[in-house]
Structure 1
Amino acid sequence: MKFSEMPYTRVDFPAVIAQAQEIIQRASSAKSGEEQFEIHQEFNKLMDHVRTLYTIAHIRRDGDVTNEFYDGEKSYYDEKLPELNAVTNEYKKVLFATPYRQYMEEKIGPVAFKSMELEMKSFDDSLIPLMQEENTLASRYSKLIASAKIMWEGEELNLSLMRKYMRSQDRNTRKKAWDAFSGFFEENQAELDEIYDLMVKNRTRQAQMLGFENYIDMGYFRMNRNSYTKEDVQKLREQIKTVFVPLASRMHKNRQARLGVDALRYYDMGVYFPQGDPAPIGTPEEILESGRKMYTEMSDETRDFFNMMMENELFDVFGRKNKATGGYMTELPDYGVPFIFANFNGTSGDVDVITHECGHAFQSYVSCKDPITDHSRYLTMETAEIHSMSMEFFAEPWIELFFGERGDDYRKMHLEDAIDFIPYGTMVDEFQHIVYGNPELTPKERRDAWNKLEQEYRPYMDSTGCRFMEEGGYWQRQHHIFEMPFYYIDYVLAQLCAFQFKIRMEKDHDAAWADYMKLCRLSASDFYPSMLKQVGLTVPFTDGCIQKIVDELDKKLG
């Protein structure tokens, strides 16, 4: 079914809760493992229907943040979804204590039960008012960012549409664009500080109400970290500082020489060639058609996937003034399809949508054929991001379709950009550990902490002349920090695995692709470390893993 034809009605939460309570009653008195499983599938189907309707409203609201109807629906779900959490938590308690636990673990897997345990430990009915307030704050942040109206050469642009000029070939143009972009955050710094301060205090209060010292452990539970710890992450961060940051520094030194500049200023961020970064050729519509050609040739599975997406209007990727910023893949479980939202802006980021977000969507398309919906329901983000970041590399043989004669320039830029990301992504994670470990910090102290981390992770970046960055505010543009605490390290873990796939595919492409497909099908049927082992990847926490990746990447930098 085309997305435009998918019917939407507001979820009747009292009716859904009543139906869920009836299912819970039957689940608590199941007479066999088979009956328990059938009831479980029924409960999942009900929750999937709620999720489908909420997601339709969310997508349509993001497509036009000035649409009063869907903006109202977003506010409605911000208030009501936490109430549904109380019911799902009650159901999990029943399932967790079932006398048919062994049968159920064999049917849906141990990952689901471990994940349910973490969810139960991080929720209580008493948190509902705070969770509603947290949702409202996240919406307030999202709406503020989407409201940006920057006058640029007589045209009113949002933050996403400014990015094209922030990567201009002309250094003066991109400085002017960066200053305009930064000006929005400077003007709204007081409100951004207030929103985040309220978020930190809100989440800390939630954690303390459940007996946690602070939000860190609770945040790990909510991120479903079911197979590694904050100590593992800290160990990874230390490896990044000692082993990976020097590689990134060498790469940026080469980039500075290539650009022919005296120093890498803030407005040189994301720029890799003096003649300008490669930009996609053709119209937005032609980019999508190039994507269709690439996926048709890549494999039978990717061909069928992309055709399905196009035929059912499951892309909303063209930039518009009133769209929410950013990009994502989400799912519409009632229809068994993914959906991709983005903002094309004439930069290479448009192609990243066709590779990165399609990597997510392809995995969703593959895994939706699994009759055990828990395998996708409990997919952890550090695994999910492997699908997307690895697809970016698997797409490289077709990159000329998008960049013509500058295909090699794109491949070089893509690798260097991925290397650049690792220190930044790790820095975002450490910043959040500092913030939630010290919730009493003032907004200025948080910005000072960010500046200190900048010196450790990105010593090559010169922010002189940009008050937004000089005062440590750059993190306020990163919506994950506001809306999805502790998410960002998942990108780092996934990128390190994607590097491993890149190294392998250049030696044996078919074997690497077979393992990629296997990982997509595994979904969350096993724990993260075990799944990586099954597809020939090394868990990034492992001693020596980062050094081995760095050694291989060093050869490619030349």
Structure 2
Amino acid sequence: MLFSEISYQRPDLTQYEKHFQQINLAFAEASDYSTAKEALEKLNHLRGTMAKNMKLAYIRHSIDTKDDFYREENDFWDHHSPLVDQIHNHFYKSLLSSPYRKQLEKDFPATLFLFAEDQLRLLNDSVIELKQQENEAISQYTQLIASAELAFDGKIRNLSELSAFFTDPDREIRKEAQEVYEGFFVEHEREFDEIFDRLVQLRHQQAQKLGFKNYVEYGDRLMNRWSYDRKQLQGFRRFIIEKVVPINQKLYERQKDRLGVDTLLHFDLPLVYPNGNPRPKGDGDTLVQRAQMMYHELSEETGDFFDLLSQQKFMDLASRPGKQSGGYCEFIDEVAMPFIFANFNGTSDDVDVLTHETGHAFQSYLSRWIKEPELVFPTSDTAEIHSMSMEFLTWPWMNNFFGNASEKYKFAHLSSALQFLPYGALVDHFQEEVYLHPEWTAVERKNCWRELERNYCPERNYQASEALERGIYWYRQGHIFEVPFYYIDYTLAQVCALQFWQRKIVLNDPTTWQDYLEICRIGGSKTFLETVELGHLASPFDTQKMITLLTAVDEYLAATSETMLR
């Protein structure tokens, strides 16, 4: 079945709730375990069908935010998804209080019960309206970002298309591109501030109504952090400042020398090489064809999967006006297929996002045996291991995309993995401060961002930008608006992915791929640290092992021939 052929239907929630409650009652009052298990499987099917329609509406709206039909459907789900969640909470209550719980725990993943406990703690009737308003504010943000139509180099471009000029070898061009990009956020500064202030207040009110100390505590529960806590995250952030930031400053110093500039300014940072960063050869269709060849050579499993993904057109990769920004992967329940969304712009980011999102898609495809909709994807800390690791596991095929510039790409890619860690920690620290201080003004939030930015990313010299100097960079980071407290998960996953890089590229460990497959197949049936252990990886919270890993990456980058990279 082609993606375009999947039917979407807005559900009748009154009928859905009636049907759902009938089956849930049969589950709760089952006279024997076999009957209870059969009812649970029916509830899984119902929830899967509901999730399919919700995700289809989201995907098709993000593909074209100007489409009137799916804009209305997006509005419908903004209002009704909390109501659906509350209907499903009746199942979670029945699950946790079932007289057959011990037997259920043998047949169903333990994480299902953990998830149920979290959902009951995070939602009740008192916060439904607040969640609806939160969804509406998030949609305002995504539509505002998608509305950008900026004139540059003789064409009207969206933000993704414009960002392709950030790596132009001509310093004036990349400076001008950054100014036009930044200008969009300055022009709409008041709107961004108002949307975010509304989100902060709505989220703070939810946390208070549900008995949390603050939204930070609520947010960690929302992210299902079952095997570690915020104190460990704070310690990990400190580790990044102490150990990663100094390594990165050496990388930036070498970059400054390569570029031949006296001072590395903010618009210089994306340019790794003076003659331009490596760009993939060919258009989007060509990249997909080369990826298809690559995945056949990587393994039988990835080859068969990517064929299916391509043939059934479960991808939308081209950037165009009105399309939502960024990239993502969704698993479409009922048809049991993932969908990849991206915004190609002709830079190496296209290869990054294709391999990254294919990692997500491949994992969810291997986990399609799981019938609980909330567990096909694992928690985001685990899910990002699959995607970030796939970026490194495909390194041997980068010459297919970059030709004789593949070694340049690998150096830049590995460097960017290290350089991302402080930024990821910065986003988390910023949000922690914001939600601990919900009374802050927009100016106070910007001041906080800039102060933290100086600690985590001291290389950011904004002397050429008054707006960035006063702290508006974070407007462009959609996660801050859309999925609070998600971003630190990328940093946890990145150090896991770097271990797969080390095993595959440096140590040539023959067990690397099998361990990767193993953690893909389990979906969300294990916690983050259980998955890390299953993949024979070190915990991000093991400081000594992380220092050893970082040293290996640092030495690898230092040993790379500067002559070859020029």
TM-score bracket for this pair, using the shorter chain length = over 0.9
1:363 is matched with 363
Say if 2:49 is the partner of 1:49. yes
Say if 2:482 is the partner of 1:483. yes
Q: Which amino acid aligns with 2:264?
A: L
CA–CA distance in structure 1, aligned partners of residues 251 and 545 of structure 2: 20
Please tell me whether the aligned partners of residues 402 and 409 of structure 2 are also in contact (alpha carbons under 8 angstroms).
yes
**5+ residue gaps, structure 2:** 559-566
What secondary structure, in the 3-state scheme, does the structure 2 residue paired with 1:130 have?
Answer: helix
2:402 is matched with 403
- TM-score in terms of structure 2 length: 0.97
Q: Per-residue displacement from partner, 1:280-328 (whole Å, max 9, x unpaired)?
A: 1012111110010100110000000100000101010011112111110
Say if 2:290 is the partner of 1:290. yes
Query: Deviation of residue 370 (structure 1)?
Result: 4.0
1:353 is matched with 353
Please tell me whether the aligned partners of residues 11 and 54 of structure 1 are also in contact (alpha carbons under 8 angstroms).
no
Query: Deviation of residue 495 (structure 1)?
Result: 0.3
Please tell me whether the aligned partners of residues 119 and 224 of structure 1 are also in contact (alpha carbons under 8 angstroms).
no
Say if 2:129 is the partner of 1:129. yes
1:385 is matched with 384
Query: Deviation of residue 373 (structure 1)?
Result: 5.5
Q: Per-residue displacement from partner, 1:2-23 (whole Å, max 9, x unpaired)?
A: 0111112212211211111111
Say if 2:419 is the partner of 1:420. yes
Structure 1 window deviating more from structure 2 (2-11 vs 195-204): it is 2-11
CA–CA distance in structure 2, aligned partners of residues 133 and 225 of structure 1: 25
What secondary structure, in the 3-state scheme, does the structure 2 residue paired with 1:316 have?
Answer: strand
Q: Write the mapping of 1:232-243 to structure 2, written as runs, cut at 5 A.
A: 232-243=232-243
Please tell me whether the aligned partners of residues 280 and 403 of structure 1 are also in contact (alpha carbons under 8 angstroms).
yes
Please tell me whether the aligned partners of residues 429 and 489 of structure 1 are also in contact (alpha carbons under 8 angstroms).
yes
1:150 is matched with 150
What secondary structure, in the 3-state scheme, does the structure 2 residue paired with 1:544 have?
Answer: helix
CA–CA distance in structure 2, aligned partners of residues 150 and 16 of structure 1: 44
Query: Deviation of residue 65 (structure 1)?
Result: 1.0
1:203 is matched with 203
Please tell me whether the aligned partners of residues 108 and 372 of structure 1 are also in contact (alpha carbons under 8 angstroms).
no
Query: Deviation of residue 369 (structure 1)?
Result: 3.0
Structure 1 window deviating more from structure 2 (239-248 vs 527-536): it is 527-536
Q: Per-residue displacement from partner, 1:51-76 (whole Å, max 9, x unpaired)?
A: 11121121111111111111011001
**5+ residue gaps, structure 1:** none
CA–CA distance in structure 1, aligned partners of residues 276 and 369 of structure 2: 43
CA–CA distance in structure 2, aligned partners of residues 547 and 497 of structure 1: 13
Say if 2:341 is the partner of 1:341. yes
What secondary structure, in the 3-state scheme, does the structure 1 residue paired with 2:511 have?
Answer: helix
Q: Write the mapping of 1:453-532 to structure 2, written as runs, cut at 5 A.
A: 453-506=452-505, 507-532=507-532
Q: Write the mapping of 1:235-254 to structure 2, written as runs, cut at 5 A.
A: 235-254=235-254
What secondary structure, in the 3-state scheme, does the structure 2 residue paired with 1:151 have?
Answer: strand
Query: Deviation of residue 372 (structure 1)?
Result: 6.0
Please tell me whether the aligned partners of residues 108 and 374 of structure 1 are also in contact (alpha carbons under 8 angstroms).
no
2:326 is matched with 326
CA–CA distance in structure 1, aligned partners of residues 224 and 447 of structure 2: 30
Query: Deviation of residue 44 (structure 1)?
Result: 1.5
CA–CA distance in structure 1, aligned partners of residues 542 and 273 of structure 2: 35
Query: Deviation of residue 374 (structure 1)?
Result: 5.6
Query: Deviation of residue 239 (structure 1)?
Result: 0.7
CA–CA distance in structure 2, aligned partners of residues 372 and 465 of structure 1: 51
Q: Tell me how large the CA RMSD over aligned residues is.
A: 1.2
Query: Deviation of residue 248 (structure 1)?
Result: 1.1
CA–CA distance in structure 1, aligned partners of residues 42 and 242 of structure 2: 50
CA–CA distance in structure 2, aligned partners of residues 104 and 512 of structure 1: 33
Please tell me whether the aligned partners of residues 516 and 535 of structure 1 are also in contact (alpha carbons under 8 angstroms).
yes
Q: Which amino acid aligns with 1:174?
A: R
What secondary structure, in the 3-state scheme, does the structure 2 residue paired with 1:510 have?
Answer: coil
Q: Per-residue displacement from partner, 1:128-157 (whole Å, max 9, x unpaired)?
A: 100000000000000001001101122111
Q: Which amino acid aligns with 2:38?
A: E
Query: Deviation of residue 244 (structure 1)?
Result: 1.1
Structure 1 window deviating more from structure 2 (543-552 vs 293-302): it is 543-552
1:552 is matched with 552
Q: Which amino acid aligns with 1:480?
A: H
Q: Per-residue displacement from partner, 1:419-478 (whole Å, max 9, x unpaired)?
A: 110000000000010001111111100000001111101111111121331110101100
Query: Deviation of residue 509 (structure 1)?
Result: 4.1
Q: Write the mapping of 1:156-305 to structure 2, written as runs, cut at 5 A.
A: 156-305=156-305
